[in-house]
Amino acid sequence: GQNIDQPTEMTATEGAIVQINCTYQTSGFNGLFWYQQHAGEAPTFLSYNVLDGLEEKGRFSSFLSRSKGYSYLLLKELQMKDSASYLCACPGAAGNKLTFGGGTRVLVKP
Amino acid sequence: GAVVSQHPSRVICKSGTSVKIECRSLDFQATTMFWYRQFPKQSLMLMATSNEGSKATYEQGVEKDKFLINHASLTLSTLTVTSAHPEDSSFYICSARDPSGIATGELFFGEGSRLTVL
């Protein structure tokens, strides 16, 4: 089975940095995804990590440590439009279906 | 990038009626599609895996006779909520994997369908 944990809510100020942590336990590891979901909309892909280390993509970066079963999503220079839920997800052992964590709601304040 | 289209985006129905939601892959063929359900302020929960040409695989606790899935072609999967009740009111999202995606697990999502059962 799979178990994916992330905080339920975080609040940050516009222009600041926020780090969203995700810990996972999977029977077989096939990478880790981060998705962004605005209220009432479908999730959109942010990042994919399969090797250890930091992947930077503009204001968003994602980190993975396979030995620790840990990942984080780093959002820099926060903007109001970044207020959304951020979902950590792992594929199953066969690499097919994607299991999501509970999601972290990020509220960006002025 | 790959596009998945879902219809309808919103539907309101009376208790006891059935509702059909369509999910189409617009520019690629999807042998497998996934149906998720999301209640307010909760994450996406996988309901079932839709397989073209064969029966869907349902997750534990999901009633296959209530949530009928048909994967009629390589670009279309449908979810029918039969005899809907207010507790079935939720956001239903379909997704598919584009073989040209960056990883085996990357999913492309439809716009979602918000079902309200009165």
Q: What is the pLDDT of residues B10-37, one digit of tens each?
A: 999 999 999 999 999 998 888 889 999 9
Is pLDDT of A68 > 90?
yes
Q: Nearest C-alpha of chain B: how many angstroms from A26?
A: 14
Total CB pairs under 8 A between chain A and B: 64
Q: Give percent above pLDDT 70 in chain B.
A: 92
Q: Are B31 and B52 a contacting pair, CB within 8 Å?
A: yes
Tell the residue number behind the tokens 């990357």, with chain if given.
Answer: B106
A90 touches chain B (CB under 8 A): yes
- A11's enclosing H/E stretch is strand A9-13
Query: Of the given ranges (A5-9, A93-97, B17-21), which has the lowest mean pLDDT?
Result: A93-97
User: CA angle, corner B103, sides to B97 and B107, nearest 5?
Assistant: 30
- In this structure, the number of other CB atoms found within 10 A of the CB of residue B110 comes to 26
Name the 3-class secondary structure at B36: strand
| pLDDT for the residue A76 | 97
A50 touches chain B (CB under 8 A): yes
Q: Using a CB-CB distance cutoff of 8 angstroms, which residues of chain B are in contact with residue A103?
A: 42-43
> For residue B58, what is the nearest residue in chain A, using CA coordinates?
A97
Q: How far apart are CA A48 and CA B104, in angstroms?
A: 11
Say whether B46 and A99 touch across the interface (CB within 8 A): yes
Q: Give percent above pLDDT 70 in chain A.
A: 95
Amino acid identity, residue B21?
I
Q: Are A29 and A52 a contacting pair, CB within 8 Å?
A: no
Query: Which band of pLDDT confidence, cut at 50, 70 and 90, is reported for residue B2?
Result: low
Say whether B111 and A33 touch across the interface (CB within 8 A): no
Name the 3-class secondary structure at B102: coil
Query: Which band of pLDDT confidence, cut at 50, 70 and 90, is reported for residue B101?
Result: low
Chain B interface test: which of A2, A51, A97 (most B C-beta within 10 Å): A97
Q: How far apart are CA A11 and CA A58, in angstroms?
A: 21
Query: Which band of pLDDT confidence, cut at 50, 70 and 90, is reported for residue B38?
Result: very high
